[in-house]
Amino acid sequence: MGNLSKTKEILKNKMDIVPFNDKENICIVGPVNLPIKQGEFQTTFQWYTWLNIDKQYATKELILDAIVNLDLASKQQSSVLIYGDFENRDDAIIRMHSICHTGDIFGSQRCDCGYQLHESMKMIADHGCGAIFYLANHEGRGIGLFSKSLAYLLQEEGFDTVEANHALGFEDDTRNYEEAITVLEALRSKPVTLITNNPKKLKALKEHGLLAHDHIPLWGGVTDTNRHYLETKVKKSGHIPEQQLIV
């Protein structure tokens, strides 16, 4: 303990650097053993997190030296929970979950995000092999938390979720899945089955040749306060209704 070069050797064994774009690499760290308990549901996932980092930090050593000065707490990172033999098993199921501060953390009933997060974690553990990507730069379908609160204020005046985004000058959905797909490709090369109702997510994976034929729909957690939001997903955002099961 306390020997700096030994500490770095331990950490470097759990780090992987993969190219992302012209300016950045992605540094993936893990697996970290993560026992979790949510009510009756209790299991252990293998947790990986990742950092988009300027290519000037080209080695693990340079990254480890830089982290104290990079103000990482103000740039929230994404992560992924893995269950089972994710690299090798043929039939892995995954969810690409967009962060929802209000739904996932506070249990907001304005949306179905908290339900989808917890339900998909259970589905993956029950299935025996899969991953849940928790995407930190997707808040409010890509508009950010502050803007989402403005959108909610407009919704209280009668706008639906899509109209509120447009009224603020945003697209309905500005999310991008390239970063998560790069990490997925580092963890596994075989196709996956996606837990989603969202055809844009299916399209993103399909373009990378990573999509198994079927998808797994995830409707539920409907309340009086999120029913209109869920209906708007189908009517305006193109989400696949409950009864239509094949891509």
Ligand X SMILES: Nc1nc2c(ncn2[C@@H]2O[C@H](COP(=O)(O)OP(=O)(O)OP(=O)(O)O)[C@@H](O)[C@H]2O)c(=O)[nH]1
Catalytic residues: 173, 175
Question: In this structure, are residues 216 and 207 in contact, taking their beta carbons and an 8 Å threshold?
Answer: no
Whichever of 31 and 144 has its CB closer to ligand X, that residue is 144
Q: Is 143 in the site for ligand X (CB under 6 A)?
A: yes
Whichever of 51 and 216 has its CB closer to ligand X, that residue is 216
Minimum CB–partner distance for residue 116 and ligand X (Å)? 5
The first and second tokens of residue 16, run together, are 């992987």
Q: Is 233 in the site for ligand X (CB under 6 A)?
A: yes
Gap between the Cα atoms of 162 and 152, Å rounded:
11
Minimum CB–partner distance for residue 38 and ligand X (Å)? 18
Minimum CB–partner distance for residue 52 and ligand X (Å)? 19
The first and second tokens of residue 173, run together, are 């959905």
Site residues for ligand X, window 101-140 (CB under 6 A)? 111, 113, 116, 138-140
Gap between the Cα atoms of 88 and 126, Å rounded:
18
- How many Cβ atoms are within 10 Å of 177's Cβ, its own excluded? 20
The first and second tokens of residue 26, run together, are 């992605």
Q: Which of 79, 161, 182, 193 binds ligand X (CB under 6 A)?
A: 161
Question: In this structure, are residues 199 and 240 in contact, taking their beta carbons and an 8 Å threshold?
Answer: yes
Q: Is 215 in the site for ligand X (CB under 6 A)?
A: no
Minimum CB–partner distance for residue 158 and ligand X (Å)? 13
Minimum CB–partner distance for residue 145 and ligand X (Å)? 8
* Count of residues touching ligand X (by CB under 6 A): 24
Question: In this structure, are residues 247 and 124 in contact, taking their beta carbons and an 8 Å threshold?
Answer: no
Q: Is 212 in the site for ligand X (CB under 6 A)?
A: no
Give the three-state DSSP class for 150.
Answer: helix
Which strands form 79-83's sheet, in the order they lie side by side? 15-19, 24-38, 41-54, 79-83, 130-135, 93-98, 192-195, 211-216
Whichever of 60 and 148 has its CB closer to ligand X, that residue is 148
Q: Which of 82, 100, 124, 216 binds ligand X (CB under 6 A)?
A: 100
Gap between the Cα atoms of 123 and 94, Å rounded:
9
Whichever of 30 and 130 has its CB closer to ligand X, that residue is 130
Q: Is 196 in the site for ligand X (CB under 6 A)?
A: yes
Gap between the Cα atoms of 66 and 169, Å rounded:
37
Site residues for ligand X, window 38-67 (CB under 6 A)? none
Tokens 């929230």 sit on residue: 76
Q: Is 25 in the site for ligand X (CB under 6 A)?
A: no
The first and second tokens of residue 116, run together, are 């989808």
Which parts of this chain interact with ligand X (CB under 6 A)?
98-100, 111, 113, 116, 138-141, 143, 148, 151, 161, 165, 196-198, 201, 218, 229, 233, 237, 239
